[in-house]
Amino acid sequence: MFILLILLRIILDTSVRLSKGISMTISLVGSLLIGQTAIQAKLVHPVGIIVVGTTVILSMVLGNKGLSGALFTLRTTAIFIGHFVGIMGLIVMGTALFIFITSLKSVGVPYLSPYVSLRIKELKDSLFRGDIKTLINSQHCYPEE
């Protein structure tokens, strides 16, 4: 899986540097060739190809391309922990990641606010954006810690 992720990452980085007309062709042919060869050589299960392909495609959803390095690091860490430790290792990793995210602050505001601190009045602007004038004029109070 790790080798497949690296090969797809190389294809994506190569396609960015080529012209738009040929980059699509090289990306498609390269990924089909790598996938078919890996399956015929019995290096990877066909479901593994689907998982890696879906993961790479979903990583394109990120609006900020600067996060792709962090996402690649987390994905690689999860692959190694899942391989050597198993599902319990992945659960511990997910829990540690959640604890780390809850401890983060952005401009003095908890990163997962109002979900973790459960501020009912502020939940109205968390999933769906309300009127921008009331959002700008609303009072937010977060205790200093």
Query: Which pLDDT tens digit goes with each residue over 82-138?
Result: 889 999 999 999 999 998 888 887 777 777 776 676 666 666 666 666 666 665 555
Q: Is residue 141 domain-shared with residue 93, that is, in the same domain?
A: no
Each residue's pLDDT tens digit, 19-33: 777 777 777 787 788
Q: Is residue 14 domain-shared with residue 4, that is, in the same domain?
A: yes
Q: Is residue 47 domain-shared with residue 67, that is, in the same domain?
A: no
CA 56/CA 7 separation, integer angstroms: 11
State residue 89's pLDDT score.
Answer: 92
User: What is the extent of the structural domain holding 129?
Assistant: 106-145
| pTM score over 0.75 | no
Helices (H), 41-129: 46-59, 68-84, 87-103
Mean pLDDT of the chain: 77
